[in-house]
A and B are shown apart, each in its own frame.
Chain A
């Protein structure tokens, strides 16, 4: 194929070379991104013999260009002639795997991992594995870090001699004197363990794991905790106690809070990996300690796991463990000094009610919910309110309604508009659970007050909230409770409030149906077309366009059309524009 078109075939490489020398990075980047086009045009042979050597030799460029190149090369297998030739891609990727910039290096490793799968077992040993070895023994830390991510992809498919070498290299990197390399090795330890034969997991991985878990740098130790999950999953139950637990216990009490944080963060995974017996004997006390940790970060991470941990406890004595060991700690966290801890707890604590059942919930959890509903920090209250549905299933929301109301009222008027916004979003849910009477009595005024909030986002959310309420409670309810109030605002001296009326009508017309829209809403809208503020007038045009489909054609012709026509000759150009748009959308022309 190559050369078939005579001079034409010179273009691609000429273009590329020219472009890659351009001063503008963006142009260099563009040409690299079109590398596959160039390769296609060149054909597989010339791609292998000209393009790849060119790329390997001449690439010294901005990291952004290198990143694009590293990514492209991962998809190049077919362009160099398929799996048979895939090893041609190794030289450029090898040098990209040694650059300083982490993003580039990671992308090169990702591409190498990808194309490793396309190597035949023979090619893997002849071409790929030597590359891994070279990287693993490179001078500068970057190449050794990259090597860490490549062991696990070639290990399963090479001969046992090569396997032994790979294990040896991995071992060496685990005790590298550069912490960056040890971190890279520690982060791949779990992945590597998964592809190893069980005997080697026990003999090799465990000793590496133990060493990394007691590294002098906490940044290395905490990565060992992550590996702990995979390793524990691989080992038979009877070995866990001797091989893994001593290290895990030590990590849970590490002097660095970062390591303890990691243990707390991975607690559910660890719990699943070590099984119910060890959980009962070891993890329960460890979890208690984490919940009582001196660092708020650790307590918050542990508090986040309370529900999941309890859920996954062995069922036979779950309740007993929770009641005697976990709940006392949880009770203390409710009055923690740190708001992040309290709010982490508040986001999961409601989930305990399904696990503990009705009686325990009423007796033990309810007081905690109530305390959190009165917490000084709005986020805590909000988290409780947003999870009300869990409690609703177990004991019904009525139990809480007395305390709920003041909490809602206070959040509804919080100084931070984002808090107000958050509580509005829970209104439909609350309304559904509390029922229409409670709502009318206590919450309706709040919902209406939001309509005149000074922050637009709140007014907008309030409008949307009304629509959802109408969908829940029905048109009749709307007609009696909210429509009159909404329409009343049409006479407000503040034009922003008058516009809110229009926005509400936009949102409500469909849910309220034709009759209410025609008889009650439409007259108000039409009357507002005489408003002195242009913004109100063009919103009238937009509203008419919006509610048009709900009206019958007679009303459209006799009532809506004349008003829109009048607006279409308004002195304000925006009003004209939207009136004309409405006329054409409603096909009234």
Chain B
């Protein structure tokens, strides 16, 4: 059986005969470089050609039949479009693929311009056609560890049809004749659940359409809203705490951004819980950069709705502050500035201490981008005014770091920025500034002494343990 397969051409065989491996390239090229060469596409996990060619009987164009016959022909066309083709096989059923494409195109135009086509029987048929086409098990990612930042996304092979189906569905949902009260029988929780699962698609084009579809459904089906929010919750929680993998986080956050915008005041407990228990923990995910802009937007939306949430939000960010990833730290600082831009002075006072302790740590980060990002706060007029009002609290927190960096930081740009900040503080509150400068040395010494005392204390504790004859293996002698 193997004998009749031509063996694949190999670049190696000629090289093998001539010389040993001296001038060969090693496999150290970057992942992205290697990947770029392959053009990747994929299709539904379930679908594989049944072997037999597919035959559809061509129907007349809708515009060519009398208006009275159009609704029925419309249904027939919808039924035909339930047929699924294998796009991984680029040679099969070419004619029929083209036929379905043109039919879908016709349907798109038809729902956009026609009137009176949407009979009650049409609803289940539309939903059925859409479900048949878009709902499918997404295939495994081609690369073992799909890294959205490094790898090219795998594109959906059946896009020529899929795109038109999405297009059709959106026009249908937006059509003036569309009646949610009838549609809700077919566009139900199960439908939404399957729709949400598709957000994991690697194809950004598909996710973009899904975003519009879900947004329309959220807008038109009041009964599904709570359910949609809850399921998005679940997707996010699973993403944060279980898999760290879901391709559509940015898109879902974008939808949420506009949903949050429409929340009524006072905010329901459910929404506050979502903010604190879901949105804030989303910051911990490794791939934060892929959806950080959308996430920060959602957070700021919440704070603009209800400023009293500022404290829990900032405390949450401080809790999850990145320890090792400078890139993420810069993102956090960016988000914090967005928050400070809208913060109310009364809220600011509540969190200024922990907040500026963190900022002081950032300012003295050896990573100059982190330090720089934090020092840029002093270019923000509103933040400056808040700092000025509270300089008696903030200056003592910041002073040690600033003073030390002005002497020690390796990066001259940072040192220059720090000098400006120190100068600003000096102008703000010269008495306090002079005081701090004067006591800088003795403060350091006091800290060192405290450090020593702590060590002493631990030593004492250990002695105590020994004195009491307690054994170090944790077993108390009787």
Q: Which of A's residues lie within 8 Å of B, judged by CB?
A: 1, 5, 8, 11-12, 14-15, 18-19, 23, 27, 34, 36-38, 40-41, 44, 62, 75, 78-79, 100-102, 140-141, 178-180, 183, 216, 218-219, 255-257, 294-297, 331, 334-335, 367-368, 370-371, 374, 376, 409-410, 412-418, 420, 449, 452-455
Contacts and interface: CB of A to CB of B under 8 A. Distances in A.
B140 A413 contact: no
Contact of B137 (A23, A62, A255, A454): A255
Nearest to A16: B461
Contact of B468 (A1, A36, A294, A417): A1
A36 B45 contact: no
B461 A78 contact: no
B234 interface: yes
Interface in B124-146: 137, 139-140
A510 to B, nearest CB: 28
Given A331-B1, A415-B26, A417-B26, A179 B238 contact: yes
B240 to A, nearest CB: 8
The 6 nearest A-B residue pairs measured at CB: A371-B2, A416-B27, A449-B20, A415-B24, A294-B48, A40-B470
B65 interface: no
B140 A297 contact: yes
B242 to A, nearest CB: 7
24 contacts: A8-B464, A12-B461, A40-B476, A79-B474, A100-B277, A141-B237, A179-B234, A179-B238, A216-B190, A219-B238, A294-B45, A295-B45, A295-B139, A297-B140, A331-B2, A367-B2, A371-B2, A413-B12, A414-B12, A415-B21, A415-B25, A415-B27, A418-B27, A453-B21
Contact of B319 (A62, A295, A415): A62
A66 B100 CA distance: 59
Interface residues of B, number: 50
Nearest to A453: B21
A244 B137 CA distance: 25
B67 interface: no
B461 A410 contact: no
B266 to A, nearest CB: 20
Interface string B10-27: 101101100011101111
Contact of B16 (A1, A36, A335, A410): A410
B139 A257 contact: yes
A18 to B, nearest CB: 8
A180 B22 contact: no
Nearest to A257: B45
Interface string B437-478: 000000000000000001001101110110110100011100
Given A18-B454, A410-B13, A415-B24, 20 more contacts: A5-B467, A11-B461, A15-B458, A19-B454, A34-B458, A40-B476, A44-B476, A78-B476, A79-B476, A102-B242, A218-B137, A295-B140, A334-B2, A335-B5, A371-B2, A374-B7, A414-B21, A416-B27, A420-B21, A454-B22
B244 to A, nearest CB: 11
Contacts of B45: 256-257, 294-295
Contacts of B10: 376
Contacts of B140: 257, 295-297
A75 to B, nearest CB: 7
Contacts of A410: 12-13, 16
Interface centre among A216, A256, A368, A415 (most CB of B within 10 A): A415
A100 B279 CA distance: 13
A479 B448 CA distance: 68
Interface in B276-330: 277, 281, 319
B259 to A, nearest CB: 20
Interface centre among A11, A38, A41 (most CB of B within 10 A): A41
A100 to B, nearest CB: 6
A41 B15 CA distance: 73
B16 A409 contact: yes
Nearest to B194: A216
A180 B242 contact: yes
A339 B77 CA distance: 41
Contacts of B241: 100-102, 180
B314 to A, nearest CB: 15
A75 B474 contact: yes
A409 B19 CA distance: 12
A101 B320 CA distance: 11
A5 B3 CA distance: 89
B464 A5 contact: yes
B8 interface: yes
A38 B12 contact: no
B46 A38 contact: no
Contact of B26 (A40, A78, A416): A416
B238 A40 contact: no
Contacts of B458: 15, 34
B357 interface: yes
B413 interface: no
Contacts of A180: 234, 237-238, 241-242
Interface centre among A40, A414, A449 (most CB of B within 10 A): A40
Interface in B15-70: 15-16, 20-22, 24-27, 45-48
Contacts of A40: 465, 468, 470, 474, 476
Nearest to B243: A219
Contacts of B193: 216
Interface centre among B12, B190, B319, B460 (most CB of A within 10 A): B12
B399 to A, nearest CB: 16
A41 B26 CA distance: 60
Contacts of B27: 415-418
Contacts of B48: 294
Contacts of A415: 12, 21, 24-27
Contacts of B25: 415
Contacts of B137: 218, 255-257
Interface centre among A15, A38, A75, A418 (most CB of B within 10 A): A15
Contact of B15 (A140, A335, A413): A413
Nearest to A448: B20
Contacts of A23: 357
Nearest to A259: B137
B133 to A, nearest CB: 15
Contacts of B460: 11
A116 B47 CA distance: 50
Contacts of A331: 1-2
Contacts of A295: 45, 139-140
Nearest to A139: B273
Nearest to A64: B323
B28 to A, nearest CB: 9
Given A141-B237, A335-B2, A11 B464 contact: yes
Interface string B207-226: 00000000000000000000
A413 B17 CA distance: 10
B237 to A, nearest CB: 6
A368 B45 CA distance: 29
B281 A100 contact: yes
A293 B190 CA distance: 27
B274 to A, nearest CB: 12
B142 to A, nearest CB: 9
A416 B21 CA distance: 10
Contacts of B457: 11, 14-15, 18
Contact of A376 (B1, B8, B476): B8
A453 B462 CA distance: 57
Contact of B461 (A41, A374, A455): A41
A41 B463 CA distance: 10
A145 to B, nearest CB: 9
Nearest to B467: A5
Contacts of A34: 458
A371 B139 CA distance: 29
A41 B474 contact: no
A227 to B, nearest CB: 18
A59 to B, nearest CB: 13
Nearest to B471: A40
Nearest to B361: A23
